[in-house]
Structure formats: C-alpha cells, structure tokens
Amino acid sequence: MTTQPKPEDHINTASRPSDLKITDMRTATVGWGGWRFTIIRLDTNQGLSGYGEVRDGASKTYALMLKNRLLGENPCDVDKLFRKIKQFGHHGRQGGGVCAVEMALMDLAGKAYGVPAYMLAGGKFRSHIRLYSDTPNEPTGEAMGHKLAGRLQRGFTMLKMDVGIESLINIPGALSWPKGMLPGEIQPGSPPDWRYTMHPFTHVRLTDKGIRLLCDYVADVRTVIGDEVPLAIDHFGHIGLDDCLRLGQALEPFNLAWLEDMVPWQYTDQWVQLERALYTPVCTGEDIYLKEGFLPLLRANAVNVIHPDLATSGGILETKKIGDLAQQYGVSMALHMAGTPISTLASVHCAAATENFIALEHHFTDVPFWGDFVDGLPKPLIQDGYIAVPETPGLGFTLNEETIRAHLLPEDPDYFAPTPHWDSERSWDRLWS
C-alpha cells in the first residue's frame, strides 16, 4: 500500500507557531493478542498533526470527550491545556485520555518549534534509554531462566518476571483460602471477579510449602541467568500484607532489583511496613495519576522505586515532575510501559529529561511487528536493549499507515474517521464558584 503524502512533509514545521490552532481529533484503535491501544491524532489549521496513545484497558471515550475543550486552542500552550483537562483524568486507566492528549500536544509543539519533545521538558540527561524486558509466565523456573537468557542475548541489561500465587492454585497444600476467592471458583457469596477484590480482603494465604515453591522457582531462574543481572518481580497475587512480608523475606537471598505492587498503592502504611521490613527495594506507581498521588508514599519514605506509567500518570511533563519530586526524597524512577512505539517514544523523551530515571519497561519483545507502527527512526527501534533518543521534531516519528491499518480491530475498524459528534459536547467544568 502506498502511504499518502502528509502536509508536514511539504511545509516548514517551524513556521507560525503562535497562530497554530487545533481543528480536529480523530482516532484509530489497534490491537493484538488481547491488547488494545487507541491512537489519537490532533489536527491543526497549519496541516500539522500530533499523535498520542490511550493506554490498553482505557476507553477512547476518555480522549474524545476532551475534543471540544481543545478545539481552537493553540497546542503549544501545553501546560495551560493540561491544567484545563487534567480534572477529567483519575487513577488507574481513567487518566488515559488526558495523557494521550498531552502526548499529542507535546508532539505538535515540538513540530511547530522544530525541536524534539525532550527539549520542551528541559533538555536531556542521556541520549539512550535503557529498557528492561518484562517476560510472560513460564511453567518452570528453568524455562523462565532460558527465556530470560534469550533477552540478555538480545542486549537487555535488566529483566522482570512474574512470580505469584496463580501458579500454585492447583498444587495441594500450597495455599489456604476462603472458597470462592481464587480465579475460576464459583461459590455462594464469592466476589464476581476476584481481580476486583483488593489484596487485604481476599484472605488468601501462602503456606510454607507455597513460599518454598515460589523461592525454588526464583532459584532455578538465577541458576540459569546468574546473580549479576538486575531481576525484578511483579504480579504476586492478591495476598495480604503479612504474607507479602513472609514471601519478601524468603526472597531476600536472590538479590532482586525490586518487588513490585505487592499491595495496592493506596495503602501507604502497608508500604511503610514493607519498606522497613525488607532489604529488597519495593516499587509501585503504575496506577497513580499526577504528582500529588505520589506524595503520600514519598513523604512517608514508603518506597524505594516509583514506577509511573506515562500513559496514565499525566503525560510527559507531569511524569518528569513526578520523577523530580521523587528525586527530592532520594527515590529513583523506573517507567511502566505496555504500549505501541507511540507511547513508548513519549516515555523515551520523558526518561531523557529526568535525572533519576533508571529503566523503561518493554512488554513486547516477542512481537515481531511491534516496531513497525512508526517510521523515521532506526530499525529495529530497540537495539541492544536501548532506544536512541530521537533528535527529530516532536516525538520524532512518522506513522506507518500500512501497519496501523493491518492491526485495526474488527470491532473498531475506523482509520482516523471524522468525529463531528464530539465537537459540541458541553458541560460546566469549573471546579469553584
């Protein structure tokens, strides 16, 4: 398929930024293997377009509802517009629309001024961004070790894997629990979906046997990959604080990079107990929106690593502010990321501009077409476990129309179709009288 010429290919993208106005918002939703990502496009009166991405699990409505609040505005007023729309985001996936818009605004502003987005965030501390490779479950520690060893051979210098109670569900004597509290169980009075029961309220407990089996799994991984490579662990399951402490202490010998999301981020006091009792760093933050959401954890010295996801934490500038805030408390910042190259590149610009950044998550090492959604950058996009920070304007890429069209979802097949029904939605948005 021949890619249609784009207006930005034929104009001076650094012209007339003070006269730039947003004229439209359109979307295209791509997906594979159960993942789903909505790409938003903001168009302008000068032919420039900017791109952002709604995180997997978030509705594109969260972005489209913002359209009428952006029409006629100058996208270079990034901070002004973010303050206007940030009230329509929240923790979890509900910040997805605001963040997608912020990415697109930064893309447009960079294109208008002819500079990469990281320059708008204050310049860069590094020219290459380290990625850590998250890896799907394997049935045995040895199999996981060999899968992770393959990541090391591809140049990744940090790794993450899941170690949790789901692997123990069918093993006699590994868990104790009130019937109905584990996946797939149907019992009178049980919750309709255990994933919506927060950790302290399931009363699922690990036995000594269960803890030993999980430690054996990690030991087998370390036997294959060695003790030197940083290895983080995630997805422990919905278990209470006491069992998190028991498991965390049992895992101490394996020199793990961090233990992630052991309990919900909202329970600052529980994170304090984890941080004080364990010598392994503890980490959370992928569901937290805005820097104010991180303050309780930081003020309490409750975590060693924060882990915002730029696609829900507030976008490029807000996430840099989150990193800077954490630095004041002596805490480093890793970035959660499970998206296409569009949101990944937004994260790359943020990481470049944030001094205490350590590594950016990558979920799709085994997806061969993942890097094909964008052009104008090195191929492959990830080389030896790093992404080079783009020096081209905005987020630094051009969209590959052919790849986007090839992965549009059957239930949502529009390729940046008009959205006039979102032009005139109105409400009284002011939060004060």
SS3 80: helix
* Number of alpha carbons in the 13 Å side-chain half-sphere of residue 203: 6
**Is the pLDDT reported for residue 227 higher than 60?**
yes
Q: Please compute the mean of the pLDDT values over residues 207-217 and round it to a whole number.
A: 98
The length of the chain in residues reads: 433
Q: Which residues of 231-244 are buried (b: 16+ CB within 10 A; e: fewer)?
A: bbbbebbbbbbebb
- Tell me the pLDDT tens digit for each residue of 148-158: 999 999 999 99
What pLDDT shows up at residue 272? 98
Name, in order, each residue with C-beta under 8 angstroms of 71's C-beta and a sequence gap of 6 or more: 22, 23, 24, 423
What pLDDT shows up at residue 195? 73
Q: Please compute the mean of the pLDDT values over residues 410-417 and round it to a whole number.
A: 95
**Is the pLDDT reported for residue 306 higher than 70?**
yes
Residue 322 to residue 316: CA distance in whole angstroms: 10
Q: Please compute the mean of the pLDDT values over residues 114-142 and round it to a whole number.
A: 96
What pLDDT shows up at residue 15? 60
What pLDDT shows up at residue 206? 98
Q: Please compute the mean of the pLDDT values over residues 126-143 and round it to a whole number.
A: 95
Kindly report which listed range (7-21, 137-151, 320-334, 418-432) carries the lowest average pLDDT score: 7-21
Say whether domain 120-396 belongs to CATH 3.20.20.120: yes
Of all residues in the chain, the percent with pLDDT exceeding 90 is 89
User: What would the two tokens of residue 423 be?
Assistant: 């032009």
Q: Please compute the mean of the pLDDT values over residues 194-223 and round it to a whole number.
A: 94
Name, in order, each residue with C-beta under 8 angstroms of 368's C-beta and a sequence gap of 6 or more: none
Give the Cβ contact number of residue 197 at 10 Å: 17
What are phi and psi for residue 162, nearest 5 degrees? -100, 140
The structural domains of the chain, with segments of one domain joined by +, span 7-114+401-422, 120-396
Mean pLDDT of the chain: 94
What are phi and psi for residue 104, nearest 5 degrees? -65, -35
Q: Please compute the mean of the pLDDT values over residues 413-424 and round it to a whole number.
A: 95
8 Å CB contact between 103 and 395 = yes
Residue 294 to residue 319: CA distance in whole angstroms: 11
What pLDDT shows up at residue 12? 55
pLDDT grade, residue 186 (50/70/90)? low
**Is the pLDDT reported for residue 185 higher than 80?**
no
Kindly report which listed range (65-74, 178-187, 213-222, 243-252) carries the lowest average pLDDT score: 178-187
The percent of the chain in helix, strand and coil, each rounded to the nearest 5, is 40, 20, 40
What are phi and psi for residue 158, nearest 5 degrees? -140, 150
- Tell me the pLDDT tens digit for each residue of 167-178: 999 999 999 999
Residue 167 to residue 29: CA distance in whole angstroms: 33
Q: Which of 172, 174, 194 is nearest to 183 (CA)?
A: 194
CATH class of 7-114+401-422: alpha beta
What pLDDT shows up at residue 9? 57
Give the Cβ contact number of residue 377 at 10 Å: 18
Q: Does 341 sit behind a cis peptide bond, omega within 30 degrees of 0 on the bond before it?
A: no
What pLDDT shows up at residue 182? 81
**Is the pLDDT reported for residue 239 higher than 80?**
yes
Residue 261 to residue 162: CA distance in whole angstroms: 11
CA dihedral (206, 212, 217, 222) positive or negative: positive
What pLDDT shows up at residue 196? 81
Q: Which of 290, 360, 287, 294 is nearest to 327 (CA)?
A: 294
Residue 164 to residue 234: CA distance in whole angstroms: 8
SS3 131: strand
pLDDT grade, residue 354 (50/70/90)? very high
Q: Which of 364, 375, 366 is nearest to 403 (CA)?
A: 375
What pLDDT shows up at residue 426? 76
Rg (CA), the chain: 22
Q: Which of 371, 345, 362, 369 is nearest to 134 (CA)?
A: 362
Of all residues in the chain, the percent with pLDDT exceeding 70 is 94
What pLDDT shows up at residue 11? 52
The string of DSSP codes covering 302-328 is --SEE--BHHHHTHHHHHHHHHHHHHH
The string of DSSP codes covering 326-394 is HHHTT-EEEEB--S-HHHHHHHHHHHHT-TTEEEEEE--TT-TTGGGGEESS-SSSSBTTEEEPP-SSB
The pTM of this model reads: 0.94
